[in-house]
Structure 1
Amino acid sequence: MTEATNPTTTTKTAALKPVRGPAPYALSDLILLPTTVPEIIQKTWTNNMEEWAKGVPEDKYHARERHLAATAFSSEGRLITWVLVPKPGADVTEPYRAAVGEGGVKGSFVEDDGSKENLERILGALETYERPGLVARTEDGDEGVKDVTCMSIASVYVPSKYRHHGYGHLMMKLLWEEMESQKIAFTFLYSDLGPDFYGDFGWTPRTCTQILIPTTMTLPTPPMARTRGSVKPVTLESMATDTQLQELITQDALLVRQDLETRLAAAKTSNDKKTRTIVAVTPEIRAIQWLFARSYFNASVIFSHNHSALLIQTDLKFGIRVPGSKTQFVLWHHDFTDDNLFILRWRLDPSSTPEEDTDAIALAFAQAAKDEAKKWGLSKVVFWNGDEALASLLGLKVETRKDSIPSLGLLNTVYPGHQSEELEWVLNQKYSWC
Structure 2
Amino acid sequence: MTQVSNSTPASKPVRGPAPYALSDLILLPTTVPEIIQRTWTNNMEEWAKGVPKTKYHGREGHLASTAFSSEGRLITWVLVPKPGADVTEAYREAVGAAGVKGSFVENDGSKENLERILGALETYERPGLVARTEDDGGVQDVSTMSIASVYVPSKYRHHGYGHLMMKLLWEEMESRKIAFTFLYSDLGPDFYGNLGWTPRTCTQILIPTTMTLPTPPSARTRSSVKPIILDPVATDAQLQELVDQDALLVRQDLETRLATAKANAGNDNKIKTIVAVTPEIRAFQWHHARSHFNASVIFQKHPQDLIQSDLKYGIRVPGSTTQFVLWHHDFTDDNLFILRWRLEPSSSSQDTDDTDAIALAFAQAAKDEAKKWGLSKVVFWNGDAELATLLGLKVETRKDSIPSLGLLNTVYPGHQPEELEWILNQKYSWC
Question: Is the TM-score greater than 0.5?
Answer: yes
1:71 matched residue in structure 2: 66
**Residues 1:356 and 2:353 aligned together:** yes
- Cross-structure match for 2:247: 253
Distance in 2 of aligned mates of 1:421 and 1:334: 34
The reply to whether residue 118 of structure 1 matches residue 113 of structure 2 is yes
Structure 1: distance between partners of 2:16 and 2:279: 46
1:415 partnered with 2:412: yes
1:12 corresponding residue in structure 2 = none
Query: Corresponding residue for 2:3?
Result: none
- Percentage identity across aligned positions? 84
Determine which of 102, 123, 132 is the counterpart of 1:128. 123
TM-score normalized by structure 1?
Answer: 0.96
Shift of residue 212, structure 1, vs aligned partner:
0.1
Q: 1:3 aligns with which of 1, 8, 23?
A: 8
Assess if the C-alpha contact under 8 Å between 2:36 and 2:76 holds in 1: yes
1:184 has 2:183 as partner: no
Does 2:292 correspond to 1:296?
yes
**1:230-251 deviations in Å (ceiling 9; x for gaps):** 4432110101100000000000
1:226 aligns with 2:220: yes
Task: Report the equivalent of 1:278.
Answer: 274
CA contact (8 A) 1:232 1:357 kept: no
State how 1:303-342 maps to structure 2 within 5 Å: 303-304=299-300, 306-342=301-337
Do structure 1's residue 52 and structure 2's residue 57 form an aligned pair? no
> 2:283 is matched with which residue?
287
Secondary structure at 1:251 match in 2: helix
Task: Tell whether the 8 Å contact from 1:86 to 1:109 is kept in structure 2 after alignment.
Answer: yes
Which SS does the other structure have where 2:412 is aligned? Answer: coil
CA contact (8 A) 2:14 2:157 kept: no
Runs of 4+ aligned structure 1 residues displaced above 3 Å come to none
Question: Which residue, out of 416, 424, 429, partners 1:427?
Answer: 424
- Report what 1:21 is aligned to: 16
Judge conservation of contact 1:231–1:357 (CA < 8 Å) in 2.
Answer: no
Task: Return the offset for 1:227.
Answer: 2.5
Query: Over residues 178-217 of structure 1, what are the superposed CA-to-partner deviations in whole Å (9 max), with x where a residue is unaligned?
Result: 0000010000000000011001211000010000000000
Q: 1:374 — aligned with what?
A: 371
Deviations 1:20-52 (A, max 9, x none): 210000000000000000000000000000010
Cα distance per residue 1:273-302 (max 9 Å; x no partner): 411000000000000000000000000000
Where do 5+ consecutive residues of structure 2 fail to align? 1-5
* Structure 1 residue 19: Cα displacement: 4.8
Structure 1 unmatched ranges of 5 or more: 9-17
| Number of equivalences | 422
CA contact (8 A) 1:373 1:380 kept: yes
Q: CA–CA distance in 2 between the matches of 1:118 and 1:372?
A: 46
Q: 1:30-179 alignment to 2 at 5 Å? A: 30-141=25-136, 143-179=137-173
Name which of structure 1's ranges 319-328 and 268-277 shifts more when overlaid on structure 2.
Answer: 268-277
- Name the CA distance, whole Å, in 2 between partners of 1:337 and 1:119: 28
**1:135–1:279 contact (8 Å) kept in structure 2:** yes
Amino acid across the alignment from 1:382: V
- Deviation at 1:111? 0.1
Q: Tell me, what secondary structure is at the counterpart of 1:62?
A: helix
3-state DSSP class of the match of 1:354?
helix
TM-score (norm. length: structure 2) = 0.97
Post-superposition shift, 1:228? 1.8
CA distance in 2, matches of 1:402, 1:59: 32
Q: Are residue 388 (structure 1) and residue 393 (structure 2) matched?
A: no
CA contact (8 A) 2:118 2:152 kept: yes
